[in-house]
Amino acid sequence: MTNILDDEQQVIRARVSLTQQIDRGSVVLSSPLAGAFLNVPRHPFVPVFFRREGERFIPWRITDGDAAAWLDAVYTDDSLITEVDGVHAEHAARAGVTGIPTSSSTAPSLMADMLDALDVNEGDEVYEAGAGSGYNAAMLCHLAGDKHVTTVDRSGTLTALARERLNGIGFDPRVIHGDGARDVPPDATYDRIIATASVRRVPPRWLERCRSGGILVVPLKGTLAGGMIARLTKLPDGTAAGRILHTPAAFMPLKTGTEVEAPVPGIPNSPSRKAALSGRVLDDWTFSFFAQLHLPRDLVRMYGLSDAGLHVTTLYDPADGSVTRIEDLPESSPLVASTGPRDLWTAVEKAHRLWRRLHRPRREWFGIAVTPAEQTVTYAAPDGHIHRWTL
């Protein structure tokens, strides 16, 4: 039987279709970027990926039934899950796995938006934190030249596969198995730094190793849904400044150090109060990125449904032990219960009032500044008042 990937014209049509999908969206492709999507194939980097069936993630290969449908899925503007709880799709049993996705091939339109912001030119020295499947690194190789690209991933499996697949299409960048936030090669500085996983703050090493005039594109995300992407320019004084991109993004977190998820304590019987806002407000990406600016840096959020099938959110600050639960009720206002020194929902309510008073400002209206000592997000209101938050 003929392999659909042997039909060069069909594969080219698939790449053209993907480029057109991106261009019809919110990203205006520059000629170099359009050329990258037209010339760099995606399918070598995702020969197996997961599709969700209920609670399970089932590996999907080109040999699993309809090859044309598989190829369409690869060249659709969507993210493709490649790893769940550390189990790569290529190593998963046919029956699939359950758990939480830990690596994916980013939606191409989001890749395009970030690569456009990065503004890579031929010969630029580029550092990528989060090699993942290797597809984004291949784009960087096409734009800058493979000898100018370094990509890092903490997963040995992902690093080995990315190296193999990049080599398979003729690219030979520097591929490092290590901590993307810390294992920046000691002998290098970079014109461009990009992360394909989220961090809570810009790692100091990235700021240090970016050359003056260089650009950093970094997804920033805490525990809430609405992450943001910062585009920063390194300044001669060693600091960096820029803006938040308009595109919301909820990248998986960059694994660095020895993260241990703090268990959320229960709330004993304690006085409660009525709230004007349901915990569901934090699922609104237009607000949640703003709410995150008002909350503790290491805040943990858990949410789900009560026995009555109504929404419940729990917030926990490991720094001082504060725990707050916001529970929807059938026919009245949500109920808030807290333990510890602070009612964490008060900060969310205050943030929501300010957000409404500022007329729901869009994320691209916010500035960001990073110094070795401090990282801040700012918003200049029409009346000239500067609002400032520390990351």
Residue 261 has pLDDT above 70, yes or no: no
pTM of the model: 0.94
According to the model, what pLDDT value does residue 268 have? 79
> 158-192: per-residue pLDDT in tens?
999 999 999 999 999 999 999 999 999 998 999 99
111 by Cβ neighbours in 10 Å (0-12 / 13-18 / 19+) ranks as: buried
Residue 1 has pLDDT above 60, yes or no: no
Instruction: Scan for tokens 């309510």, then name that residue.
Output: 349
Out of 2.60.40.10, 3.30.70.270, 3.40.50.150, 3.30.1490.20, the CATH code matching 4-93+102-244 is: 3.40.50.150
According to the model, what pLDDT value does residue 7 have? 86
* Percentage of the chain modeled with pLDDT above 70: 98
Residue 74 has pLDDT above 50, yes or no: yes
> 266-314: per-residue pLDDT in tens?
887 777 899 989 999 999 999 999 999 999 988 999 999 988 899 999 9
Q: Which two tokens stand for residue 86?
A: 């550390």
**What's the CA gap between 375 and 390, in Å, rounded?**
6
**What's the CA gap between 32 and 385, in Å, rounded?**
40
Q: Which two tokens stand for residue 290?
A: 């703003």
Residue 259 has pLDDT above 60, yes or no: no
According to the model, what pLDDT value does residue 252 have? 86
> 327-381: per-residue pLDDT in tens?
999 988 999 999 999 999 999 999 999 999 999 999 999 999 999 999 999 999 9
According to the model, what pLDDT value does residue 307 have? 87
Q: Which two tokens stand for residue 84?
A: 């769940």
For residue 2, what pLDDT band results from cuts at 50, 70 and 90? low
> 308-330: per-residue pLDDT in tens?
899 999 999 999 999 999 999 99
For residue 144, what pLDDT band results from cuts at 50, 70 and 90? very high
H-type helices in the chain, by residue range? 8-24, 31-39, 67-74, 108-118, 135-144, 156-168, 204-209, 285-292, 344-357
What is the overall mean pLDDT for the chain?
Answer: 93
Mean pLDDT of 262-269: 81
Instruction: Give every strand in the sheet of 272-274, ordered side by side.
Output: 272-274, 335-339, 322-327, 311-317, 300-305
Half-sphere exposure of residue 177, counting CA atoms within 13 Å on the CB side? 9
| Cα-based torsion angle of the residue sequence 253, 255, 258, 261 in order, rounded to the nearest 10 degrees | 30
**What's the CA gap between 90 and 112, in Å, rounded?**
26
Residue 258 has pLDDT above 60, yes or no: no
Half-sphere exposure of residue 389, counting CA atoms within 13 Å on the CB side? 17
Mean pLDDT of 233-252: 94
> 26-43: per-residue pLDDT in tens?
788 999 999 999 999 999
For residue 257, what pLDDT band results from cuts at 50, 70 and 90? low
